[in-house]
């Protein structure tokens, strides 16, 4: 993707048409949490036993040619939409609400105060989409990696950050 090579277990690929070798514009993946192993592709969700999204880390790898890197968006685009005052979050996190009436209404930036480049996510607030969802982005070369996880995981955000670091190192060993 975008000239970057990734090592992806075929079982992690969510969309069957993406299960082919070679260059692709986008790949959608899923991993069981906290083991970070691909789900068993033979186990299909059913009406009586749907997939529990709270047990999955969803990953999208796509070309980042048309997007600004996340930290650049935080510095240049997001400030005009953010509420003025940050609030303290769980265990060293800082929260910045997006104002109502903006494209990001109902969301907030959640970041590690001491090192936002290590943990910086855009999360929907609870009640907007059930318990809320967080998007954390990383860029490797010209490839964007977007990780989606339940907002409830923020209570163990350090474990989430460590798991994401391990997964990215496995997907792209030279990162």
pLDDT in tens, the chain (175 residues): 678 899 999 999 998 888 888 788 899 999 999 999 999 877 777 777 777 778 999 999 998 888 888 889 999 999 999 999 999 998 999 999 999 999 999 999 999 988 998 999 999 987 654 788 999 999 998 899 999 999 999 999 999 999 999 999 999 987 5
Sign of the torsion angle spanned by Cα atoms 28, 120, 143, 106: positive
Q: How far is CA 74 from the centre of its chain?
A: 16
Closest to 115 in 3D by CA, of 92, 97, 99 = 92
| 21 secondary structure, DSSP code | S
Cα(151)–Cα(121) distance, integer angstroms: 10
Per-residue pLDDT tens digits for 22-44:
788 899 999 999 999 999 877 77
Closest to 147 in 3D by CA, of 160, 132, 156, 158 = 160
The CA–CA distances, whole Å, from 8 to 25, 27, 28 equal 14, 9, 10
Cα(60)–Cα(24) distance, integer angstroms: 12
pTM given for the model: 0.91
- Domain-by-domain residue ranges, the chain? 10-171
Contact 94, 113 (CB under 8 A): yes
Residue 112 is inside which H or E element, if any? strand 107-112
Contact 141, 3 (CB under 8 A): yes
Cα(121)–Cα(95) distance, integer angstroms: 10
Cα(162)–Cα(170) distance, integer angstroms: 12
């Amino acid at each position: 993707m975008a000239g970057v090579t990734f090592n992806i277990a075929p079982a992690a690929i969510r969309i069957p048409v993406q299960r082919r070798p070679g260059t692709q514009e986008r790949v959608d993946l899923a991993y069981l949490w906290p083991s970070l192993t691909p789900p068993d592709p033979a186990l299909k969700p059913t009406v009586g036993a749907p997939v529990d999204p709270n047990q999955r880390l969803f990953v999208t790898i796509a070309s980042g040619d048309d997007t600004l890197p996340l930290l650049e968006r935080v510095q240049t685009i997001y400030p005009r939409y953010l509420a003025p005052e940050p609030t303290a979050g769980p265990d060293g996190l800082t929260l910045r609400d997006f104002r109502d009436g903006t494209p990001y209404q109902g969301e907030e930036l959640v970041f590690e105060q001491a090192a936002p480049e290590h943990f910086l996510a855009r999360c929907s607030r609870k009640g907007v989409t059930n318990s809320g969802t967080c998007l954390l982005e990383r860029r490797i070369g010209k490839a964007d990696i977007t990780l989606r996880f339940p907002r409830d995981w923020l209570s163990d955000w350090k474990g989430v950050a460590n798991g994401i670091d391990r997964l990215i190192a496995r997907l792209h060993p030279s990162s």
